[in-house]
Amino acid sequence: MDKREIVTRFADAGFLVNHQVVNYISECGGTGVIEGIIASLPNGVTVVTPKEVPAMIPLRTDKLNVGVSRMPEILFGRAGSSVPLPDPESSYTMFRDRYDSLAAMMRGRVSPIPIEALVRTGNRFTDQQIGLVGMVSSISTSAKGHRIVEVEDSTGCIKVLFNRNREGFTEAEAIIPDEVIGVKGQLARDSMGKSQMVFSDTLYRPDIPLTNVPSPSKEQGKAVFISDIHVGSNTFLPEAWEKFSAWMQTREDIGYLLIAGDVVDGIGIYPDQDKELDIKTIYEQYDHVGDLMAALPDRLKIVISPGNHDAVRGAEPQPALPEEFRGNFPPNVTFVENPALVNIQSVNVLMYHGRSIDDLIKFIPGASYTKVGEIMEAMLKRRHLGPIYGQRTPLLSTDKDALVIRDVPDIIHTGHVHISDIISYRGVLGINAGTWQSQTSFQKQMNITPTPAEAVVVDLATLAYEKFCFL
């Protein structure tokens, strides 16, 4: 369209027009465009500038431009992906996968020899420095206070002694059942002169590489991390949630909300729970969570993974919340399994409810509920979210061990213990989100003081975080 004609048309309608607008229309518009622009002009405008032409308003690249936040990409833990092995006895497959994948992370540092070759009578390694990688099958303490750890690989098993007077003994004391460790040390006969034993010089864990650096997003955007809403419980804090919800309306810079499980209090999770429930059916509890999610800004992309109070199988990996409970949720919610690896604007977030934290606190000396950050660190060092089999965390037999931390995440997001904590370990940000329920009668008995109504905001472009409280 001719530029002079454009100017004339605006003039006929009583408007002056800026040259950028003229250029824009001459390149991509017909007469209909001019009529559209004129029709939508606010009262009082006499000069038409790019500001008045919605299609010309550039996409904002400042931090407020998260209205266009992309859908989270589920890298691991997509709904329906964790399938139990047909034969529950075949947990061997899963442990074999755990061993293989964690051993691979240490092979270069440890140069392991198969254990069978170390224990064979007359083997050529006796009294030599050797390396091995094994899964911990039993742990004991000798009369002199040394740690004796039995480890196994697919070829055999052997005892390793960690001397209490050696440097690094604290890490050896923190060895837990079913984790995979590497050892370098001296192969020798035990004190009875019978079987072979390794006297450890150095303990290795799969760990996060020292060279790991955080990889923030190249795009602007922010995400909120919460957990353990416990809707339905009479200790759920509706006023605090309302404050949070109202605040979210004002935070146009936030594009994502991630929730790490226990969104409802559930039904029949602990004895006499019904006496502590305000909402007594599981469907009504989820419908209410759906209402809470729908009241949040719909520009948000919400990701929900389940916890031990949710209406899914307790054994981990836990499936995503089934369709029958999702009826009242808005379409901007994505349901994933527990655990799940979620990519938001190229930042990888490992979501895990954290039931194993109870077990890890029990087994790691000095660990406590008030220092959950150390437990997230323990998971990262072991590259496993919950190694200990047969304690409080039920583990499902699957062909791949879903709790192995295969790829180093940028953020690990847990919950469950209702006490918030944030750490940074070798470039990985660890966020244990608190809860949205006040102290329960059980927690009172156990002397657990929760940190309710907190939300952690992470700037995806810098991975800097900020904590907000809504009590």
Question: Which residues bind to ligand D5M, rule: CB under 6 A?
Answer: 228, 262, 270, 308-309, 358, 416-418, 442-443
162 or 236, CB closer to Fe ion? 236
Comparing CB distances to Zn ion, the nearer of 110 and 419 is 419
262 closest CA partner among 436, 432, 78:
436
Q: How far is CA 142 from CA 217, 302, 342, in A?
A: 50, 51, 44
Least distance from C-beta 292 to ligand D5M, angstroms? 18
Partner from ligand D5M, Zn ion, Fe ion, none binding residue 270, C-beta < 5-8 Å depending on class:
ligand D5M
Q: How far is the CB of 453 from Zn ion (least distance, A)?
A: 17
Question: Which entry of Fe ion, Zn ion, ligand D5M, none binds 442, CB below 5 to 8 A by partner kind?
Answer: ligand D5M
Q: Which does 92 bind (CB under 5 to 8 A by kind): ligand D5M, Fe ion, Zn ion, none?
A: none
**Among 77, 84, 85, residue whose Cα is nearest residue 321:** 77
The least distance separating ligand D5M from the CB of residue 309, rounded to whole angstroms, comes to 6
Composition of the chain by helix, strand, coil, percent to 5: 25, 25, 45
Can you give the binding site for Zn ion, defined by CB under 5 A?
262, 307-308, 416
How many CB atoms are located within 10 Å of the residue 137 CB? 12
CB of 228 vs Fe ion, minimal distance in Å: 4
Residue type, 141: T
From 207, 262, 358, 377, residue interacting with Fe ion (rule: CB under 5 A): 262
Q: How far is the CB of 416 from Fe ion (least distance, A)?
A: 5
In 270-363, which ranges are continuous DSSP H helix?
282-294, 356-363
Spatial distance between the Cα atoms of 251 and 235, rounded to a whole number of angstroms: 27
358 binds Fe ion, rule: CB under 5 A: no
**240 with 286: CB under 8 angstroms?**
no
Instruction: Pick the stretch among 34-42, 53-61, 109-117, 255-263 that binds Fe ion (CB under 5 A).
Output: 255-263
The CB-side HSE value for 381 (13 A sphere, CA atoms) comes to 18
**CB 368 → ligand D5M: shortest distance, Å?**
11
Closer CB to Fe ion, residue 378 or residue 417? 417
Which of 228, 359, 401, 454 contacts Fe ion by CB under 5 A? Answer: 228
In contact, 380 and 398? CB cutoff 8 Å: no
Nearest to 245 by CA among 293, 305, 301: 293
Select the binding partner of residue 178 from Fe ion, ligand D5M, Zn ion, none (C-beta < 5 to 8 A, by kind): none
State the nearest-atom distance from the C-beta of 308 to ligand D5M, in Å. Answer: 5
* Least distance from Fe ion to the Cβ atom of residue 308, Å: 7
Q: Which is nearer to ligand D5M, 301 or 418 (CB)?
A: 418
Q: Which is nearer to Fe ion, 255 or 415 (CB)?
A: 415
- In terms of CB distance, is 148 or 277 closer to ligand D5M? 277
Core vs surface per residue 317-341: b (16+ CB within 10 A) or e: bbbbbeeebbebbeebbbbbbbbbb
347 closest CA partner among 448, 194, 463:
463
CA distance 242 to 295: 9
Kindly tell me which of 228 and 316 has the beta carbon lying closer to Fe ion: 228
* CB-nearer residue toward ligand D5M: 92 or 270: 270
Q: Which residues bind Fe ion (CB under 5 A)?
A: 228, 262
